[in-house]
Structure 1
Amino acid sequence: MTRFDPAVNGFHFRNSFQTVTGVFDITTGGLCGGMVYAALDYFNKGQAAPAQTYTPVNGTQLQSYIYARHMTSLERAMPKWVELHANPLGARNAEFFNWGLQGTGGGRLQELRAEIDAGRPVPLGLKSLDADPSNDHVVLAIGYDMGRYRGDLGANKEDLKIFIYDPNSGNRKVALYPVPSEAKYCMDSANGTKCFRTYFVMKNTWTPQTPPAISDHPKELILTLGTGGDDLRGGNDNLSVSLNLKNGTRIEASNVNVGQRWIDHSDQTVGVSLPEGLAPQDIQSVTLRTSFGGGMGGDNWNLDTLTMVFRDNGVNQARCTLNGSPLTRFTGDRKSETYPFACR
């Protein structure tokens, strides 16, 4: 075992992130790679993971960091994912499965043991049983137990246990184990037994970064924006938020949709991290500002509802909702709108 303890070094919330992708107009979830990389960042710096017990909202400081680390995990491991998905009709299933049991000759198990024996927790990419990449997963290997297995593809393969931090299961230790009769690896997670074709060691994809210092009692302004009959396009047409304080200063959050499309008749929730000591009565107004270019190809967006919630350590302190049909139609000529903050 390494020194990584999921109860201390893992996040205290599960991987329940959601976002909308404009490619297929569907809602997708999960920032498993980002949670693994971020948790490893805190561990590498000798810091416990933030004490926050609820999933951070898109745009808040912790979510933004996890999202950025997730993108890094995808980009750097993409060649491995492509290799494992290039498997027509499952012709290489047995080969991929055996890679994870191979303890010599450059096998995955040999790579894994070398990292763990050196005291280094290491991310693992888990390839799904099917061709759908959304069923792939990333976890953090923190230890192993060979049992009677010798790493030689011989007897007692079922003895192998790889201990992991699984973001989908919260901050508890989980075991990944092979099922040789079905050529798959399974783990008993918080959401039931999940199985995968194989795993690979992502030892060269993670490089340490300095994670943000997150308050144990974060303050946030949570905005839920209801899109009406005309979408927010994303790409170069994005949304930013300004909180206008009564003392004349502003708190800015840019590109809160992270370049994603917000489809017609959908609700999206974003958040803005606030400094300690700020109270609801300190906020005068909230400005929504788009980057629409205007002209024939410019974007238009109908905002039908805007709910604003002042949250302190996960507890709502003030809330208000504005409605319209639409509340505001943003265009190239009307790029921004300011709404008074009268929430109590």
Structure 2
Amino acid sequence: MPLINRSSSSIYWRIFSPDDRTRAFGISPAYEGTLVAGAQAGIGYSASRFQLEIRDRQPLSLIPPSRVLVPAGPPGSVGELHRASDMLEYMGGSELRLTTQERIDVPGFLPSTHGFRFANQFPANTAHVSVRVGNVVMAIGDAANGLCGGMVYAVRDHFHAGMAIPSHKAGPVSGVLYEYLVARLYDSFDGLGWTEYLRLMSPGCSAGERARTAYFSALPGIESDLRNGAPSPIGLVQVNTDDPFKVGNNHQVLVYGFERNGRRVRLRIYDPNHPARDDITLDFDTGATPPLFSYSVPPGGDGRIYSFFSHRYQQRQPPAANQIPPWVDFPFPSAVAEGANNIIVGNGWLGLLRIDSVFGNRFNGTLYGQPMEGEWNPGTRAIHFTRFLGPGYEQRYTGVLELDPETRSLTGRIAGSFQEIHDGVTGQAAYDWRAAPRLLVDGNGWQTELRLHRIDGDGSVAGEMYGDAVTGRWEHAAQRLHLTRRSADPNYAQEWTGRRTDGLTFAGDFQEIVGGVRQARQYRWMAFDQR
């Protein structure tokens, strides 16, 4: 290990073990010597832990008396030699700098190839998730608040097993893959997971303790995992509160790379909130207290990271690929194309926005069964149309056709507000509405489209999904949708019941009917207007 004199004066140095004072004055050139300004020498010791002392000249020098510039310090105040490439630099005064340059990567692992393709985002009310502490069940919100721990554990599971990650481009909301992710989320809170979040997020936890946990507890565990070729799951503490119900505001990520340059450390991260990103990093200085962590993407929570800790990961075999329904890409139909039947919900009322004819950017048709006409602007994607309910009574709808941020193409979804007009006077109240040509359905993990062709005033509905005809009814007061799917087999049908939870999102259960007998098992389903 080189020692470099960066000061403007000559120095005398000696290095020894804190447990071996026989080398206090050095016995070979490898353990003591003199360095002129700008010079360097190779220093060494058989042990990895050492004490170094630097003087302005040898201890026996009398004119003038030798002065200690960097004291060895009391027993236990030591440096640590990691490898021969480490470098010690004397900067002048009493400043001594240890530069450790090291990089460890998990061979072959990259988030873009081994992480999930979908982000940690799920529709509202996607199955409530909670954890049990003793006899108390504490909620951490539904899956709409994230399944980051389950996704992180699942990614390591697949990498460890040598299995390809499922190709889904959106998070599942039911079925084998979803149940596996939820189970792994629970697993991630076993052991120290839950209690470490509560301890480190508490305002009573000192900055020193948060630093010690990250630097001297978590970091060695991360290094050990990476040296063994395994990505390392860690918990990011992102809130400063004693409220246990906010534990879900923290985050879990997977470390797959490590760099050290002196006290500066960089961790390379798979973050389930940002799929396919190979450039996410966590940077910090192990000499800083309170700890200052720099995350290359918005950290969430309170907007900062207070500490991190290693999870006690236990391997689990992922579900076999043939147990997971395949991913299906459904194209986005145009909401303003001639013949489009858009499912619309306005102020809680479900209906159809039909486009019968299109003339350039203008169109007409029916809305909730009444005549409608309007136009849209391709440049601004603004849309407005009027529903004619009777003499002197109209509703005017304004909105925007939504754009996919990645493909920059129309998604088929429209959202906006409407107002009522009586005898030419516009009411002050404005009501939200949104519409889409179809809903995406996830039934026990199997995906399809739900298209409705009819919603009558009495609530009866008809349409199709999974290539089969569906009929049913819409209960406005309960905001509940009932559907019956009939297959080509006259002895087989399915009964679907779900509640509208938000916008055009529905969640519920379905049962099979075989030979006229309703089966006991229930399966979860959701429908929503976006991926």
TM-score range, shorter chain: 0.5 to 0.7
* C-alpha spacing 1:42/1:168, structure 2 compared with 1 (3 Å): same
Normalised by the length of structure 2, the TM-score is 0.39
Task: Give the AA of the match of 1:273.
Answer: G
Q: CA deviation at 1:303?
A: 5.3
* C-alpha spacing 1:147/1:308, structure 2 compared with 1 (3 Å): farther
Larger radius of gyration, structure 1 or 2?
A: 2
Q: Within 5 A, what are the aligned runs for 1:248-287?
A: 271-274=443-446, 280=465, 283=468
Higher relative contact order (CA 8 A, sep 6+): 1
Structure 2 alignment gaps of length 5 or more: 1-104, 130-137, 331-344, 349-440, 449-463, 486-495, 501-508, 510-518, 523-531
**CA contact under 8 A between 1:35 and 1:70: conserved in structure 2?**
yes
1:114-160 Cα deviation digits (max 9, x unpaired): 111111111101112412312211101111001122xxxxxxxxx21
How far apart in 1 are the matches of 2:146 and 2:499? 30
CA RMSD across the alignment:
4.4
Q: Within 5 A, what are the aligned runs for 1:297-308?
A: 302=478, 304-305=480-481
**SS of residue paired to 2:319:** coil
**CA contact under 8 A between 1:168 and 1:189: conserved in structure 2?**
no
2:188 aligned partner: 73
1:93 aligned partner: 207
Higher helix share: 1
1:319-339 Cα deviation digits (max 9, x unpaired): x99999xxxxx9xxxx999xx
**SS of residue paired to 1:167:** coil
Report % sequence identity: 24
**SS of residue paired to 1:184:** coil
| Alignment of 1:119 onto 2:295 | no
Aligned residue pairs total 241
Q: Within 5 A, what are the aligned runs for 1:142-291?
A: 142-149=256-263, 159-173=264-278, 174-178=280-284, 180=288, 183-189=291-297, 195-202=304-311, 204-213=312-321, 214=324, 216-218=326-328, 271-274=443-446, 280=465, 283=468
**CA contact under 8 A between 1:62 and 1:212: conserved in structure 2?**
no
Normalised by the length of structure 1, the TM-score is 0.58
* C-alpha spacing 1:69/1:308, structure 2 compared with 1 (3 Å): farther
Q: CA deviation at 1:215?
A: 5.2
1:44 aligned partner: 160
* C-alpha spacing 1:216/1:272, structure 2 compared with 1 (3 Å): closer
Higher strand share: 2
How far apart in 2 are the matches of 1:323 and 1:95? 47
Task: Give the AA of the match of 1:171.
Answer: A
Q: CA deviation at 1:210?
A: 2.7
* C-alpha spacing 1:322/1:19, structure 2 compared with 1 (3 Å): closer
How far apart in 2 are the matches of 1:165 and 1:323? 35
**SS of residue paired to 1:65:** helix
1:17-75 Cα deviation digits (max 9, x unpaired): 2554597897651000000111111111212211111222x213322221111111123
Structure 1 alignment gaps of length 5 or more: 150-158, 221-225, 230-268, 288-300, 310-319, 325-329, 338-344
2:120 aligned partner: 15
* C-alpha spacing 1:7/1:44, structure 2 compared with 1 (3 Å): same
Q: CA deviation at 1:176?
A: 1.0
How far apart in 2 are the matches of 1:100 and 1:78? 16
**CA contact under 8 A between 1:18 and 1:30: conserved in structure 2?**
no
| Alignment of 1:61 onto 2:176 | yes
**CA contact under 8 A between 2:208 and 2:289: conserved in structure 1?**
no
* C-alpha spacing 1:26/1:128, structure 2 compared with 1 (3 Å): closer
| Alignment of 1:140 onto 2:249 | no
**CA contact under 8 A between 1:12 and 1:52: conserved in structure 2?**
yes
